[in-house]
């Protein structure tokens, strides 16, 4: 399974969604998540993210451990997104800022 992590928050570039063959991205107000029940480990999304926010669960840095459960939880609550849209207006300013989890809007 692939996991969306901290640096997506407040950026949400959405380049990732167009390449997913099984439509497993779900969209919230300022973050995207992957449904672990649907992801087939195709690896296509990982290089698409300009914010480098997507990791294989197998290569997940320890600091992002909590994002595994968060992706699973929010994928149940948020709608599927399959078409790319504009990033959030302040995406460039927030890209690379660490520990954005307190900014997550559910
Ligand atoms: Fe979709 Fe493939 Fe990324 Fe899984 S690894 S979320 S199946 S694009
Ligand atoms: Fe987020 Fe990267 Fe996709 S910033 S919306 S995971 S392209």
Tens-place pLDDT, residues 68-88: 999 999 999 999 999 999 999
Q: Domain 2-81 carries which CATH code?
A: 3.30.70.20
Tens-place pLDDT, residues 35-70: 999 999 999 999 999 999 999 999 999 999 999 999
Cα 100 from Cα 51, distance rounded (Å): 13
Query: What confidence score (pLDDT) does residue 100 get?
Result: 98
- For ligand 1, mutation pick of 14, 16, 18, 20 (most atoms within 8 Å of CB): 20
The response to whether residue 15 sits with its C-beta less than 6 Å from ligand 2 reads yes
Query: What confidence score (pLDDT) does residue 3 get?
Result: 98
Mean pLDDT, to the nearest integer, of 5-32?
98
ipTM over 0.95: yes
Cα separations in angstroms, 19 against 54, 83, 94: 13, 10, 24
């Amino acid at each position: 399974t692939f996991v969306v992590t901290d640096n997506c928050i407040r950026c949400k570039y959405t380049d990732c969604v167009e390449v997913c063959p099984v439509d497993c991205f779900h969209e919230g107000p300022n973050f995207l998540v992957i449904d672990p029940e649907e992801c087939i480990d195709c690896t296509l999304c990982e290089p698409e993210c300009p914010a480098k926010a997507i990791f294989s669960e197998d290569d997940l840095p320890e600091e992002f451990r909590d994002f595994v459960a968060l992706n699973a939880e929010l994928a149940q609550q948020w709608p599927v997104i399959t078409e790319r849209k504009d990033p959030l207006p302040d995406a460039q300013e927030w890209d690379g800022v660490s520990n954005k989890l307190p900014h997550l809007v559910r």
